[in-house]
Copies of this chain bind each other. A is one copy, B any other.
Amino acid sequence: MPQNASRAAGRHFLQIPGPTPLPDRVLRAMDTPIIDHRGPEFAKLGKRCLEGIKTIFKTANPVIIYTATGTGAWEAALVNTLSPGDRVLMVETGQFATQWKTMAQKLGLKTEFIPGNWRTGAEPAKIEEHLRKDKAHEIKAVCVLHNETATGCLSPISSIRKAIDAAGHPALFMVDTISSLASTDYRHDEWGVDVTVGGAQKGLMLPPGMSFNAISDKALTAAKTSKLTKSFWAWDEMLTMNKVGFFPYTPATQMLQGLAVSIEMLHEEGLDNVFVRHARFAGATRGGVGGWGLEIIGRPPKFFAPTFTGVLLPDGHDSDAFRSLALDTFNISYGASFGPYAKKYFRIGHLGDINDGWLMGVLASTEMSLGLAGIPHKKGGVQAAMDYIVSAHSSGARAAAE
């Protein structure tokens, strides 16, 4: 914005990989008088949310709703199912996988970490190999991020399930879907996941402050013998109260008002349409990055994230300085960088309640910022992205016509 202005014009482009731009309908649903969390109107709201959220995780089992951000749901997944000293297998996909590992250690678990270079997703073969060595079945859980939020690498959950089965290993399978849920296909039941961790502030188009545990029967059984201490995170009281639409402690009523509406919106669009839309955005963005002649941090393409894209800058260019220039000039926020690649890349979020035109605004702001920042790149990224979108809509129209 101009130096002599105290206000930037127009709508902020919140292109971090979550929270995502909040739809007005969700914000307005939360902007309502608060209701008695023990009264009959709440019971209806509670049931609507508790039933609805199952359709998002694609599970017939209960989903626990926490008033806490995703980090809390990570902790809940662990403390409800495991006991002090249990071994858990995790995969070093990046910053967030590392944080979950650190958390597990703080909680008294013994972690084994399949090393990674922070640029790829989890490899089923490596997990299978690791599990096969654990003949005594001392490993009690395998924990993977569906999408590593630090870099944008999508791991093949269904294949990992098969790898665990191939190893004949009884470990619980826990998956973090915080930056993938409701943006790309995910099937808790069909893919045999035992605990799925989810959050509100990405594909669900809600503010941060709510997170989830979708749980299998096997996980419920494990919970009965789990010895890690727990109270706030305990599933049992939740499950009991949830049956009648209530919660053991005062829930975040306004978040539930928003959740009920966000689930409704996802179904109005159609979950499959939501996934196609996000895939189109991801394809267009990758086309744009290619057009600029820049490199995507995640690789190879089989790991490309559907929800955001990490863009590496040429050597010698600081991505934090770039983000700052873009924010000042074009009112756009990107996600930061982490670990060995800190300051070397930035993340363009392309998830949540956005459309093609908005995405083009994002990519154009990026191309213009590259220009203003003097970062070496080719023009033509936006053009490539537009071509991708036009082509996608043309084939969509053809498919519908045939």
Q: Using a CB–CB distance below 8 Å, which chain A residues touch chain B? A: 1-14, 16, 18-19, 21-22, 24, 27-28, 30-40, 67-72, 74-75, 84, 103, 106-108, 199, 201, 207-209, 228-232, 234, 248-255, 265, 268-270, 273-274, 276-277, 327, 329-333, 336, 353-362, 364-365, 367-368, 371-372, 379-380, 382-383, 386, 389-390, 393-394, 396-397, 400
Contact = CB atoms under 8 A, between A and B. Distances in A.
Copies in the complex: 4
A11 B358 contact: yes
Most central of A28, A199, A331, A332 by chain B CB within 10 Å: A28
B22 A34 contact: yes
B357 A37 contact: no
B364 A70 contact: no
A268 B5 contact: yes
Contacts of A330: 355-357
A112 to B, nearest CB: 18
A259 B394 CA distance: 40
A354 B67 contact: no
A327 B203 CA distance: 24
> 4 nearest interchain CB pairs?
A10-B355, A361-B361, A360-B364, A209-B252
A207 to B, nearest CB: 4
A204 to B, nearest CB: 13
